[in-house]
Chain A
């Protein structure tokens, strides 16, 4: 394709995308020059993913124009986008775990590219040139998450790449791995490849990108040079004026131990899942313990063992105890009776039933609070509880009869957290409490957690967001490959050190073995 040298690589003009019931993109303009690293910033639900899918040809815009190197075109499908030299690395990898790296890449490139064997030298060459060590014959399930991401990136680089789109690439990486990725991306840009970097992490965007386009509610809310803007300015562009964007909370040390996990071993029957090894953990009353870690390192397994969805045999019931009572063999409702409250990672379909009203969802976990009498549900009391949650935690909803599914992520999370907090728990376990939640709601959730801590509850927060953990937790540790690092006072450790723990560089009392 011929093009004048000074025309932008990609130019979007007034792109709109309408889905039934929502306008995902509203007249978005975006321009990327050759060799430019541009950030696309925005909260979850701001329309970033939709815009990317339009660029990559996965969906068609309702209106607007796409120009590629100065020429208007209709991006029919991803095959066409790949043919033009557009590569995309999705947030969730699409790799076959039982196949080798070369086989995966050959599958994605199609029959014309050659057999996996023929591709191997090229894969080695590309991965070396961009400083991403990768062995083509290794099976994908034996790779770390960071290495899997390299497979996806190398796959894009195998062809003549002109625009690389990365969707929140660092959400699965440790800080060190992210730095390595940035080196590669800068080298690519220096060779003239344009990069569109989607993220909501301000620090990374400032470190990597020359320019940024900020989306809010499906519209462009501003363009800026990240290096010249403060976090607060960027956050304002992303979420508008919100309180509590910058707050710090005093650190405290806890009292009596509420939750004890003692040498917890658990073998995962799923061969690609993560087994837990000698987890030791203590959460005291009046403190927040944070557990960092890249997803898939045993968080889900540990959470299921704490909630009671996974149970140990009776003989091992002392591995987990609440207030010195062994609980590892008990069902979730029995643990709740002992004062446990739980906020699971997935709001819809786990923490709340999507089709049910907020009233019914209040009953879902609060049934032990005198809401059931003689087997019958006390409707009036349940409704009063739901109304109180909505009022106290400022949940934006037309009413308590609204289905949980129609609430936004942040509002539903406030409701779920409120439901758990109003049960006056002695111990709260919260997984990714602010994942996908806008900054304003996140601040409200943090304040609620701190207030619960100050009221004397023990709180365990498992999160992938390191900044969040440093902000709210009093002690911190990290999970890697099903092993838990020793916990340290948050005030005494640095992000870099926790980053090392996330990569597995810590001494555990037990002999180390990967899962």
Chain B
């Protein structure tokens, strides 16, 4: 290996927090380079992408609308990831939450009581938790890898949603469009202000934020989750129950993703449609790491991610840039963050002298 990485004896704490910023700067620089190569004015493009979308109150409220589902999913993922349970299934849990919430809302479509909303939200949250519970069950019962099971359950969830929206839940008076009837007003999340689409999901998200923060930073349960994540043997040595903690972390994770899903259908959308989520559950994975699995960091990261979504749409409309630009930026962001993290933990070193030493010698050394 010409380039080798040596572990650093001491990690710098400020750098641990600065690296997301550094990653953001590098992403911007790469963006500038990319737009220049594509023949766009880089500054104007970045303005369209990152500043224009939030230049008025409506833009800010749209930003929050987009940020809420990402925030909720990422908060849940942070709980699971602290326990080193790699739940990749927030997308599926979100979709199932939206599906179950919609089914409940359509049952209660004529019910005027405020309780209708509570039932809808509860149904979506519980369904998301149950969907994650499948992953927990497979992992604790059969030791199945949660990364694989949760990803595969995403596809099952998406197809379940498509089946219901094309079948049992389709609006009978909807000219055969694949969408449900509009929910009754009583089961919609109320708007926060008159202008814009910002809805009551904001309060639910703030509640979840505080709850997850207390859980991870103040509670003994959160401590157990962290110990399990860092050191399974130590957790077993003091009698923390691994299976219970896995269940708990995944249920919380799924419940919050389910809440995000039901928040979408009962909030800005108002009915069940096939495109409930433009990949919020996947974006939340990036957000959770970008925010260092810390609830406050995740708030900042989810706002940034929402901005990329809005900016991508804006660039699509005004500059004829493809929609892939959003995913490209997300990908670059995660890439640079991981790269910065590697450099915090390791020191790169070029080796000219020993470049010729090959792997064979190293394996022999073990003999």
Contacts and interface: CB of A to CB of B under 8 A. Distances in A.
Contact of B220 (A20, A349, A376): A376
A57 B367 CA distance: 12
B359 to A, nearest CB: 12
Nearest to B222: A377
Contacts of A225: none
A355 B8 contact: no
A364 B227 contact: yes
Contact of B238 (A20, A94, A333, A372): A333
Contacts of B110: none
A20 B6 contact: yes
Contact of B367 (A108, A308, A346, A367): A108
A22 B9 contact: yes
A380 interface: no
Contacts, number: 88
Contact of A20 (B8, B240, B361, B366): B8
A474 B9 CA distance: 43
A384 interface: no
Contacts of A47: none
A267 interface: no
Nearest to B11: A403
Interface stretch (A73-81, A213-221, A314-322): A73-81
Contact of B366 (A94, A331, A342, A360): A94
A373 to B, nearest CB: 9
A353 interface: yes
B119 interface: no
A364 B220 contact: no
B230 A356 contact: yes
Most chain A CB within 10 A, of B6, B219, B367, is at B367
B222 to A, nearest CB: 8
A51 B241 CA distance: 43
A330 to B, nearest CB: 9
Interface string A95-108: 00000000000001
Contacts of A360: 223, 226
Given A372-B220, A376-B220, A377-B218, A364 B234 contact: yes
A354 interface: yes
B365 interface: yes
Contact of A349 (B6, B10, B233): B233
A61 to B, nearest CB: 13
B361 A363 contact: no
B8 to A, nearest CB: 6
A504 interface: no
A365 B238 contact: yes
Contacts of B366: 94
Interface string B225-256: 01100110110111111000000000000000
A336 B7 CA distance: 38
A351 B226 CA distance: 15
Interface string A365-385: 101000010011100000000
A233 to B, nearest CB: 34
Contact of A375 (B219, B236, B241, B361): B219
B238 A350 contact: no
Given A20-B6, A349-B231, 4 more contacts: A77-B357, A79-B364, A367-B238, A377-B218
15 contacts: A21-B8, A60-B354, A76-B357, A77-B364, A79-B361, A79-B364, A333-B239, A334-B239, A349-B234, A350-B231, A351-B237, A353-B227, A364-B227, A375-B219, A376-B219
